[in-house]
Each structure stands twice: as structure tokens, then as C-alpha cells.
């Protein structure tokens, strides 16, 4: 894993997780690199009244406590509407019936998130974007990553539908073979509406992809621009490239 120098400027990103442990994320600029995107660094902290050092998971000392920018996906130029940018983890994680994706618990040792805005290949930069993809990365101690994916799968299956602004959103999930150690694809579908909220017929959909690489889990939340459908092909490509980026970081 490459080392990054920290600039004096940092931004705090906070992830609300179970067990009252808060995880903060600082983002600092790469030193001497050509990538203008800040380097994402995650550290853990214990809030007042929270668990003491003795309560931390065993083996956390050997799990990563920083997440570099190189671990995140950067879309190719033909799809990139704007460069990836740091995002608060709490804003990047999707929600369905409840806080299904924010249940990492005490075994999380680091977390960070980035957002990239994409366009259709070949379209000029003056056109509106096609969508945004929020990517969150968690690192876990022990068996925390596998436990997270298992709990998440159970929680998603327990949420076949939910209400969003008066519209019923149906939820379907399926395993994605051959991606990382395990991967899950979640599809949300709801009635298509106009910008004013009137139903126009047809359906709108977007997808969430989750992949585990050893003790690291990444969550991709694809959102179409201004309530339109996301692009499944772009998300699939991003998920696979994201797994390769994490695998390269772990080496």
C-alpha cells in the first residue's frame, strides 16, 4: 500500500454505527501525485461514555486503520462527469427499511467514502450527468467483514418493500458470483414520476452493490440524476474495478 503525506487541511466524516462507537474520517491531499483527489484516511475514536480501550475487538491492531484514496474507484475519463470527492459516510450509505448498511459494529477499524458523478460515454461535458455513485469502504477486525455481509443480506431480505415519498419501493437482492470473496446486488424499483411528483407510467430503478475482499467491505450506491434510473452497466463495471482496487491495496 502506498504511503500518503498528510496536508494540514482535514475534513471530518462521521459514521453512526451500532454499539455507540463513532468512526471519523479525515481527507488529505496526496503528496507529489498527479491525482487531484484528496487521500482518504480513517481513524477510530471513542466518544464520551462509550466503550473503553479494553472493549475494542481483539485483533484490531492488525486490521487497517487508514484507507488510502487509491483504494477507491476513479471512473475512466469517458464516463467521469466530475472527479471523485470525499463524502461523509453517513450520507454515502443507502437506507431501505432501516439502517441496514450502517451496522458494522465494534469490529470496524476504519471507514471512508467517496462520490463520483458519471455521464453517458461519448456525451459532452455540457450535458447533465447520468447519475452518481457513492462508494463506502469499511475495514474490519477478525471475522467482522463476513459477519457484516451476512447481517446485511438478512436485513435486506427482511425488507421486501418500503415507502419513499408516498411511493412503494420494492427491493430485490441476489448474489453476484465471481466478484471478490462474496458480493450482493440490491435493486430498488418504484413508479416513475415527473419532477413535480406526478406518476408518468413505467418504473424507475437504482442499484446497490456490496462486495467483500477478505476483511474489507465496499458498498456502492448508484443513484440516477434527479430521480431517474441509475445505470446498471456502469455500476457493474464500477463494482468490479472497485474490487480490483481494494485487492491491489491489500497486496
pLDDT at 40: 52
- What residue ranges do the domains of the chain occupy? 13-250
pLDDT tens profile 103-134 = 788 899 999 999 999 998 888 888 889 999 99
pLDDT at 118: 93
Question: Do 17 and 108 touch, CB atoms closer than 8 A?
Answer: yes
pLDDT at 201: 80
What is this structure's pTM?
A: 0.77
- Tell me how far apart the alpha carbons of residues 117 and 105 are, in angstroms, rounded to a whole number: 29
Joined grid coordinates for residue 237: 463495471
Joined grid coordinates for residue 16: 453512526
pLDDT tens profile 200-244 = 788 999 999 999 999 999 999 999 898 889 999 999 999 999 999
Residue 240: HSE in the Cβ half-sphere, 13 Å Cα cutoff: 8
pLDDT at 103: 77
Question: Do 73 and 242 touch, CB atoms closer than 8 A?
Answer: yes
pLDDT at 184: 98
pLDDT over 70 (residue 14): no
Q: Which residues pair with 205 in a beta bridge?
A: 189
pLDDT tens profile 24-54 = 333 333 333 334 444 555 544 322 222 222 2
- CATH fold for domain 13-250: Protein Transport Mog1p; Chain A (3.40.1000)
Q: Which residues pair with 228 in a beta bridge?
A: none
Joined grid coordinates for residue 88: 461523509
Question: Do 6 and 30 touch, CB atoms closer than 8 A?
Answer: no
Amino acid at each position: 500500500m502506498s504511503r500518503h503525506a498528510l496536508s494540514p487541511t482535514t475534513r471530518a466524516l462521521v459514521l453512526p454505527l451500532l454499539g455507540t462507537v463513532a468512526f471519523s474520517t479525515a481527507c488529505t491531499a496526496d503528496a507529489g501525485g498527479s491525482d487531484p483527489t484528496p487521500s482518504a484516511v480513517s481513524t477510530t475514536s471513542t466518544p464520551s461514555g462509550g466503550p473503553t480501550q479494553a472493549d475494542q475487538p481483539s485483533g484490531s491492531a492488525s486490521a487497517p486503520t487508514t484507507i488510502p484514496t487509491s483504494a477507491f474507484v476513479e471512473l475512466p475519463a469517458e464516463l467521469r462527469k466530475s472527479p471523485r470527492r470525499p463524502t461523509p459516510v453517513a450520507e454515502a450509505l443507502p437506507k431501505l427499511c432501516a439502517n441496514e448498511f450502517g451496522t458494522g459494529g465494534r469490529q470496524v477499524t476504519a471507514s471512508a467514502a467517496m462520490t463520483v458523478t458519471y455521464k453517458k460515454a461519448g456525451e459532452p461535458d455540457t450535458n447533465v450527468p447520468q447519475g452518481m455513485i457513492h462508494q463506502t469502504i469499511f475495514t474490519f477486525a477478525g471475522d467482522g467483514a463476513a459477519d457484516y455481509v451476512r447481517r446485511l443480506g438478512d436485513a435486506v431480505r427482511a425488507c421486501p418493500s418500503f415507502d419513499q415519498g408516498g411511493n412503494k419501493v420494492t427491493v430485490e437482492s441476489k448474489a453476484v458470483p465471481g466478484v471478490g470473496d462474496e458480493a450482493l446486488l440490491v435493486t430498488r424499483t418504484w413508479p416513475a414520476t415527473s419532477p413535480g411528483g406526478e406518476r408518468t407510467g413505467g418504473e424507475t430503478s437504482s442499484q446497490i452493490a456490496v462486495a467483500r475482499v477478505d476483511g474489507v467491505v465496499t458498498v456502492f450506491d448508484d443513484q440516477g440524476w434527479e430521480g431517474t434510473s441509475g445505470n446498471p452497466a456502469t455500476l457493474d463495471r464500477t463494482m468490479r474495478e472497485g474490487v480490483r482496487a481494494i485487492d491491489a491495496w491489500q497486496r
